[in-house]
Chain A
Amino acid sequence: MRERRSLAALLISAPALFGLTLFVAVPFFLAVALGFTNLRLGSPLPLEWLGFEQYRRILTDSSFTRALINNLLFALVVVPLQTVLALSLALLLNQRLRGIAWFRTIFFMPVVFPLSLVAVVWVLIYAPGPNGMMNEFLQLVSFGNWVPRDFLRDPQLALPAIMLTSIWQGAGFQMVILLAGLQSISSELYEAASIDGAGRWRQFWHVTLPQLRNTLIFVVLVTSILAFRLFDQVQIMTRGGPHDATTTVMYEAVEAAFTRQQVARGAAMTVVLFLVVLLISWLQRRVASQERELS
């Protein structure tokens, strides 16, 4: 009887386990293995074991190092800005006011938009010339002092332009999670704080933020990882240009493996991407567990 149940359990989980093995675990080990070779589709050269040669090559390649820096810049700018924006929105929405749910709908709506559609729409928003929507807007708020720019072909502005697009699309996701976090904070904590004479500002620092800490750590983790997976917007809006100003690790990997058929090189790049993701998750765990020790 026990054996039969054991077999049944294995059988019902088999499809999922098979899928995860074939489509996640095998490719993962294959990525690591391929990164040490010279594999190239349709190449006449024999397959060779190169050791760390492929990694030496990509890490000394100026486009790839630029891609790593771009991803890092993207994370350093987008993560704090988007988190602060999302937290502000969540705080504004966490009020008992008539019609507040409408605003939640509006802020969350971009999240259901596919990134490729968002990218295409924002290409037109960033249209060059004085009639471009973003140019016109900046001219309006600067009282006519803004000189129209071609955002996506400007080496200085292309990456910030993609950052803004991404914040617009992603802020609602963080907001919803933070709002749920805010709503789960017990009102007794606020009552106790106000009895102790703490004003709004001190309540925010001493009740809200500490209670929201784990939620904040989580949204920061997710957004940081997304920053390193950046691809769709770059592929559609700038194709990594101008002069690698917006290239990313994933864009370089796809260019290598897909456009130039250099499978081994692309695999090595994605292994680097995975190591970064692993590092971010490890940091998050350390920060989260530190808190447990403190409390």
Chain B
Amino acid sequence: MGYVKAFLIYLSLLLIGLLFITPIVFMISGSLTPDAGVFAQAGGWDALWSAGVSLDNYRDVFARVDFMGYLFNSLFINGMIVGVGLLVNSLAGYAFARLQWYGRNLLFKLVLAVLIIPLEAIAVPLFYMVSLFGWRDTYWVQILPFIANAFSIYLFYTFFIGMPREMEEAARIDGAGVLRTFYCIIVPNAKPVFASVAVLTFLTQWGAFLWPLMVTSGEDVRPLPLAIATFYSLPPLQWGDIFAFGVMMVTPILVLFLLFQPWFVRGVVTSGIKG
């Protein structure tokens, strides 16, 4: 490749990259700017090369709200959705892909039909239902509806159906039951699909905002994405504190992303191969 062409590619990437990264740099530098500075330059570029660096804003966040509580809520809710979801959906995907049973084809068609229904389309009646059950302001109301996932089942199904049959035959001849075959033969050979589904579920659920907004009114079970919105509307308006909250909130997923970047990319790409 010619030097001129390589130079032009780098130049375009650098310019667009700057535009992409500026809001993030802005957030981080704002979080480190002493309160007085953020007030003086609210939103200005000056905030990027702030006069001083301090951790006051981070201290303020812990003094003003129960950040660790929100963090725990988010980790617990998402951990349960991802963990229990992997178990429940992989078993269903396995049953649809590898077992012969009465009603399988009809049920699988129904699962595929459910795929098209977004949460938004059912949020109102679901909200009404959980209100009737008296489930509002609990962890369960933020976990249970998201465990069974038609798309996860579909991803497991497509992976399992491509695995060679012989592997199970041997186990079956040895007299292993359905669960043991699944656990000992299928799972160890299907790690990529488990990783992809885990990453995709986490990525789509970690930022959940609409549903927690509808079903939680108290602080106790509020997850981070909702907490930052309420923190932002909590007077006095201190941008440094809000940014410090934001940096701390995004750090766990950013670290996960940087460590397991190939898996994130693979997870997203897997979602693109459907249909």
Residues of A within 8 A of B (CB): 2, 5-6, 8-10, 12-13, 15-20, 23-28, 30-31, 34, 39, 41, 89, 92-93, 95-97, 100, 103-127, 129, 131-133, 136-137, 168, 173, 176-177, 180-181, 215, 218-219, 225, 229, 231-232, 235-236, 250, 253-254, 257-258, 263, 266-267, 269-271, 273-274, 277-278, 281, 288
Contacts and interface: CB of A to CB of B under 8 A. Distances in A.
Contacts of A281: 116
A271 B121 contact: yes
B229 A9 contact: no
Contacts of B24: 109-110
A168 to B, nearest CB: 7
Given A20-B111, A120-B229, A125 B101 contact: no
Contacts of A273: 118, 120-121
- Give the top 10 A-B pairs by smallest Cβ distance, nearest first: A19-B148, A127-B43, A114-B207, A16-B92, A30-B125, A177-B272, A9-B101, A274-B121, A27-B122, A23-B145
A132 to B, nearest CB: 5
A168 B114 contact: no
Given A107-B20, A131-B46, A176-B268, 18 more contacts: A16-B88, A16-B91, A18-B148, A19-B144, A19-B147, A20-B111, A23-B146, A89-B16, A97-B6, A106-B21, A111-B268, A114-B250, A116-B207, A120-B242, A121-B23, A219-B272, A258-B214, A274-B118
B267 to A, nearest CB: 10
B246 A112 contact: no
Given A16-B92, A218-B272, A236-B229, A112 B264 contact: yes
Nearest to A134: B43
Majority SS at the chain A contact face: helix
B21 A277 contact: no
Contacts of A39: 128
Contacts of B124: 31, 34, 253, 257, 263, 266-267, 269-270
Interface residues of B, number: 96
A125 B26 CA distance: 9
A128 B95 CA distance: 57
Interface in B206-265: 206-207, 209-210, 213-214, 224-226, 228-229, 232, 239, 242-243, 246, 249-250, 253-254, 257-258, 261, 264-265
